Amino acid sequence: MMCRDVVEADAESLTGLKKLLYRFHMNVCPSCQAHQKQVETTVATLAAMPKDEPSPDAREKALAAFRKNTKQGV
Amino acid sequence: MELIDRLRQGDEAAFRELFDSHHAMLVRLAMAYVKNASVAEEVAQDTWTAVIDALPSFEGRSALKTWIARIAINRAKTRAQRDGRQVPLDDEEPNSQDDRFNRIGAFRRTPVAFDNPEALLLNREVRVAIDKCLEGLPEQQRAIVTLRDIEGWSSEEVCNVLELSESNQRVLLHRGRGRLRAALEAVLGGRS
């Protein structure tokens, strides 16, 4: 198993010998470890992205629809 | 009292809580299917109207948020179809970035280390690269990355809402993350 195979593999789906080869390669290859770290940082960066607050206008529109529906009997 | 019961009783505070918890997620999710943020906002608004109308018939067979997300996805797909939006197919192979590997498939050079996420997000180029990459992802990849990595949903929740098998979801997530990693590497090059 070479770096390209390791990088393209879906690690969780590997079984048997392929899983062993993957783990061995990851343990000894600094480049694949660095690649894995890049992926982990990418995922952490996505998680850390600022979340937009809903606009007051959008909230008010939805609340108005809720009120209207409630009056009509939800 | 459960949120759903409060909503059915017309509790406005409960609805506000629901809206504040999920509206931004609905807009981001809709962006996987429609052409721009303002259309995604319209889809999210339509979703709330549909949710309000359908609250009496919500049976609780799925979590409230997955039920709402499924309504949003259906609305977004309908809207995209109406607008004639073309998106890449989900089974498209990812860019294999052959130039990173030598003839036998080993890395030519060790990938650079990225800064920590907080530092990366201070870099405008990084934020632009993420947005642009997300925009270019096939719709299912984008929906999966949005829900798993941005919204922090579990694999099971994402499979439920997108009606995907666990393995299919994992493969698409792997591809989506791979493209985003490559987008960051392209921006950061050797200087991170």
Residues of chain B with CATH 1.10.1740.10: 2-82
Q: Supply the pLDDT for residue A74.
A: 46
Residues of chain B with CATH 1.10.10.10: 112-188
Q: Supply the pLDDT for residue B95.
A: 53
Q: Supply the pLDDT for residue B128.
A: 95
Q: Please give the model's pTM, rounded to 2 decimal places.
A: 0.90
ipTM score: 0.88
DSSP chain B: --HHHHHHTT-HHHHHHHHHHHHHHHHHHHTTTSSSHHHHHHHHHHHHHHHHHHGGG---SS-HHHHHHHHHHHHHHHHHHHHT-----TTPPPP--GGGB-TTS-BSSPPPPP--HHHHHT-HHHHHHHHHHHHHS-HHHHHHHIIIIIS---HHHHHHHHT--HHHHHHHHHHHHHHHHHHHHHHHTTT-
Nearest CA in chain A to B185: A38
Q: Does B58 contact chain A (CB < 8 Å)?
A: no
Q: What percent of chain B has pLDDT over 70?
A: 91
Min Cα separation B154/chain A (Å): 13
Please check the confidence at residue B184 and state whether its pLDDT lies above 50: yes
Nearest CA in chain B to A58: B45
Question: Which residues on B lie below 8 Å from A29 (Cβ)?
Answer: 107
Question: Which residues on B lie below 8 Å from A38 (Cβ)?
Answer: 111-114, 181, 184-185
Q: Does domain B2-82 have CATH number 2.70.170.10?
A: no
CATH topology of domain B112-188: Arc Repressor Mutant, subunit A (1.10.10)
Confidence category of residue B192, pLDDT binned at 50, 70, 90: very low
